[in-house]
């Protein structure tokens, strides 16, 4: 639909090739094409300003707050991804195959989110991590470089890490809410659900009351 501003300040809309002019009496009048061409001063195919509203309407302060929270979150996702793969590679014991495959599935899920987190930060105008060193400087979840970690300790530690990750995401969600960033909040809701599912599988596997 094309909107045209007439020289006399009235606005007309073309619908199915016919131009209408809104009248002060709230009625409309059909215009013929020569009349439109003679009186129009602006012809634009640009969308209305309202329909152009998007993530860039987030205030500079909001971009800083959300971008900062996403930076920490991305570092945590990378740290937990690598720890999950570390335990996947070094798993040993009676249920090796089950645990090895479970952690592979969890690692894939964590890695898949990383690109979306970084790109979301860029979409709102923030920057994101640039290196492995940047991950180390921003991660809140701790690494585990210990050799020969027992299988149950691995699973229990990952369960706790995933619950902490979910709580970090809830905090980030609250920051998004405060700044009206619906899209980041929506992404976070899915990632929270995934983290809680991973935590469920891990804690159920290590339950001692079964």
Backbone φ and ψ for 10, nearest 5 degrees, come out as -90, 155
**Residue showing the smallest CB distance to Fe ion in the complex:** 104
Nearer to Fe ion, 19 or 87 (CB): 87
Sheet holding 40-44, edge to edge: 28-31, 18-22, 11-15, 2-6, 40-44
SS3 14: strand
Both tokens of 180, joined, read 């009206």
Closest C-alpha among 38, 40, 50, 49 to residue 13? 40
Q: Which listed range, 30-38, 46-54, 99-107, 179-187, lies at the site for Fe ion (CB under 5 A)? A: 99-107
Measured from the CB of residue 96, what is the shortest distance to Fe ion in angstroms?
12
Q: Which stretch binds Fe ion (CB under 5 A): 35-43, 97-105, 118-126, 128-136?
A: 97-105
Minimum CB distance to Fe ion smaller for 35 or for 104:
104
Q: Which stretch binds Fe ion (CB under 5 A): 103-111, 142-150, 175-183, 189-197?
A: 103-111
| Interaction site with Fe ion (CB under 5 A) | 104
């Amino acid at each position: 639909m094309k909107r045209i501003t007439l020289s006399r300040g009235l606005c007309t809309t073309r619908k199915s090739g016919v131009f209408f002019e809104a009248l002060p009496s709230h009625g409309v009048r059909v215009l013929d094409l020569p009349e439109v061409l003679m009186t129009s001063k602006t012809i634009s195919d640009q969308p209305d300003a309202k329909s152009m509203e998007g993530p860039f309407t987030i205030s500079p302060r909001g971009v800083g707050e959300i971008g900062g929270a996403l930076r920490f979150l991305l570092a945590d996702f990378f740290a937990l991804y690598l720890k999950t793969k570390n335990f996947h590679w070094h798993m040993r014991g009676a249920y090796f195959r089950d645990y090895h495959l479970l952690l592979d599935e969890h690692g894939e899920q964590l890695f898949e989110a990383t690109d979306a987190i970084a790109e979301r930060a860029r979409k709102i105008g923030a920057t994101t991590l640039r290196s492995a060193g940047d991950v180390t400087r921003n991660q809140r979840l701790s690494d585990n470089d210990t050799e020969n970690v027992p299988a149950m300790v691995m699973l229990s530690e990952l369960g706790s890490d995933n619950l902490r990750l979910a709580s970090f995401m809830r905090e980030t969600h609250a920051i998004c809410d405060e700044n009206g960033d619906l899209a980041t909040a929506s992404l976070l809701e899915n990632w929270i659900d995934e983290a809680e599912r991973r935590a469920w599988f891990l804690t159920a596997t290590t339950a001692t009351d079964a």
